[in-house]
Structures are given as C-alpha cells and as structure tokens.
Amino acid sequence: MKIEEADFIAEASATEYAIKNFETTLADLKKKPAQVLQPMCDFIEAGINSDKISSAELFLPKSDITIKLQMSIINLPLEYAKNINKIMVGDGVVPVNVYMIIASTIH
C-alpha cells in the first residue's frame, strides 16, 4: 500500500483511521501467542487490502501492557502524526508499513 504523505498526515492527525481494540491476559498471550495475535493481524491485513490506515490495539489490563500494530509511513506511533510532518516533508507518494509498538505504564 502507498499513500500521499500529506494525506497520511492529515488522516493520522485527525484520527481518521480505523482502530480496533482487543483484550487478553498475559497468561493467554504466553500460552497461545499466535491465536491471540491473529485477529490483530487480520484487522491490519484488511486495512491494507482496502487502502485504509489502521491500528490494532491489544490491552493486557492486569499487566498494564499495550501491544499495537499500526500502519504508518515512518516508525513512529500514529499518536505522533504531527511530528511525522516535521520529519518527512514533501516526499510525495510513500509506502505504508506495519509497525509493532509495545508500551507499559509500569516503571
């Protein structure tokens, strides 16, 4: 999938992309990672096939962990779309890749 850089930044900045939330436990993720992660991959694949920016977000509430699969033009979370605009300027049509982001609130 490819997208015009300016269009990507506009959609990502306005949060005009598909977001699907999932939830599991750390134990289930450890026991059956492929089964737990497959729905996220399917959602992202559907986004790619329909040329729509997408973000699949898996929450592990008791572990305070979030795993995201996001489509982007640069390895930076979609939440920072305005910063993408500072890094890429006038590159025209660019490829969209899928990135994994793992975050935790545990210090």
Summarised one tens digit per residue, pLDDT across range 4-31 is: 998 998 999 888 899 999 999 999 999 9
Q: Are 66 and 102 in contact (CB under 8 A)?
A: yes
53 by Cβ neighbours in 10 Å (0-12 / 13-18 / 19+) ranks as buried
Summarised one tens digit per residue, pLDDT across range 24-38 is: 999 999 999 999 999
Is pTM beyond 0.75 here?
yes
> Minimal CA–CA distance to 47: which of 101, 84, 97, 4?
97
Alpha helices, H only, 33-103: 33-49, 81-87
Mean per-residue pLDDT over the chain, rounded: 92
CA distance linking residue 56 with residue 48, whole number of Å = 12
